[in-house]
Every structure is written in C-alpha cells, then in structure tokens.
Chains A and B, each alone.
Chain A
C-alpha cells in the first residue's frame, strides 16, 4: 500500500496550506445549511402532536449534542494517532478541537435544560443521559486544563492524549444511556425499531442541521489547526511564505 498520503498529512506546511484552502469550502455550505434548516425547522415543519411548537428545540439541541460526541471521537482518534506515530500535527488537531467540543457540549446541556423545563417539569435531573453528558463536558475541560498546565508542548501533547483516548469510553455511554437505563430523556427519536419515527417534514430539518453543524465543526477546527501549526513551528522556513512577511524591508 502506498503510504505517501499519510506522510504528507504529517507535514506541517502541507497541513497548513490544506486547512487554509479547505476552510471556505466547509464554512459557506455550513452557513447555508444552518440557515435553511432554521427556517425549515422553525417556520415550515409541523408542530408536534404532544409537544406543540416546543419540540422545535430539537433542531438546535440534537445537533449540538451530536457535536459534543463527534468532536470528542475526533479528538480521541487524533490523539491516539499522535501517540502511536508521534505525529505532531495529529496532536495539534486534537488540541484544536477541544474548545469547540466543550462549548457545544455546554450548549447541548443548556438547550436540553431549556427544553426539559416545560416538557418534563424540571430543568435539571440526575438522569443517566444528562449526568454522562455533564461528564463529557468535564472531560473536555480536564483535557484543556491539563494541556494548559504543562509548558512543554511535547509533554502536554503526550499527557493530554492519554486522557483524550481514555475519555472516548464515555461517548458510547452517553449515546446508549437512554436505551440501557430507564431514562427521563426521550429515546432516539429519528429511528425506532428500524423505522422512521418522524415524518419527512419533521426529520428533514434535523438532517440538514446535522450536516450544517458537522461542516461548521470542520471549518472551525481547520481554522484553529492553522494557528496551532504556526505556533508549534518556531524555526521552519515555510512560515515566511505562510504569513507573508517582507523581511527585506526590515533588514535594510
């Protein structure tokens, strides 16, 4: 098998340029999908027969909750690759994803709470789904705090990567918690027993929104990745071209 693509991905200048070129291709479609799904979800999708218009919170709650898990898996895989192949770029990717994951996990918890208020009659419950999602937030915050507490970047990479990899265990627990335990949180509402549980007019905005949020995550991570890569490469000559400094003007 030809592994040159893998080696290219490990090269900071290649990754910097690739990320730079890819960001607009993810950012603009993401904006389009999120706006379209919001209009569809808020104004066009029919009201739920039990929850009325309150159910429309699903279109922002489910995608933020989806990101809280997707981002962590991305982080865990990147950190694992970084540990095994000692790939700096992979560690940089994991570090770039963490703050994005933390903010969307917090957002999922709060939008869930706002939804729970009128529907369950409580804003907070130590329910398995909610408790493990809170643990997910602490995993992100722990990862970021651990990185921030170690000055040496290589040591910070390796130590925090262990936490990132181990923490992935929590992802299936969050996902399956509503099936494993008798939970206040509703069961997965898109598919039930292999059948669509919602009409197209209701799950349509959800899929568009999920796509929009996934692209948003990619655009944000690749923007942060450029910053991480630049900060890590102190002496490399490619940075001159990357940031476009005219050194002649300074030297003469």
Chain B
C-alpha cells in the first residue's frame, strides 16, 4: 500500500504530474469524440441530400 501511495504522491509533484496527464488524456478523448461526431454528421447530411435528390426524380 505504501508503494501505491508513493506512486500517487509523485514525490510531491502529484498536482502537477496528474493535472498534466489528465489534461492530455482529456484532449485526446475530446479529439476522438469530435472527429467521430463530425463523420457521423456528414454521413447523415450526405444521406439526407441523396434522399432529397431521389425524391425529385
């Protein structure tokens, strides 16, 4: 248990180390979410355009 406490304590730099890693993983997560949402939306838009064109024929 002492080892685990030492690990989280980061030699007194806990606040700095964990906030830097936390922020970086947040940025990675947001990038994945944004990219997937963008693709899903543009696929939806493309479908709508096709359906509208199909309706005109």
Point out residues on A near B: beta carbons under 8 Å.
Answer: 34, 38, 42-43, 47, 52-54, 56-57, 60-61, 64, 99-100, 103-104, 106-107, 110-111, 114-115, 117-118, 216, 220, 223-224, 226-228, 230-231, 234, 239-240, 242-243, 245, 247, 250-251
Residues of chain B touching chain A, judged by Cβ–Cβ distance below 8 Å, are 7, 10-13, 16-17, 19-21, 23-24, 27-28, 30-32, 34-36, 38-39, 41-43, 45-47, 49-51, 54-55, 57
Q: What CA separation (Å) do A226 and B45 show in the bound complex?
A: 13
Complex formed: what's the CA distance from A242 to B57 in Å? Answer: 21
Write the chain A residue with the least CB distance to B49. Answer: A234
Partner of B36, one of A61, A216, A223: A223
Q: A52-B12, A114-B19, A224-B38 are in contact. Are A247 and B43 (CB under 8 A)?
A: no
Known contacts A43-B7, A54-B10; A60/B42 CB under 8 A: no
> Which residues of A have CB within 8 Å of B30?
103
**Interfacial chain B residues near A47, Cβ < 8 Å:** 11
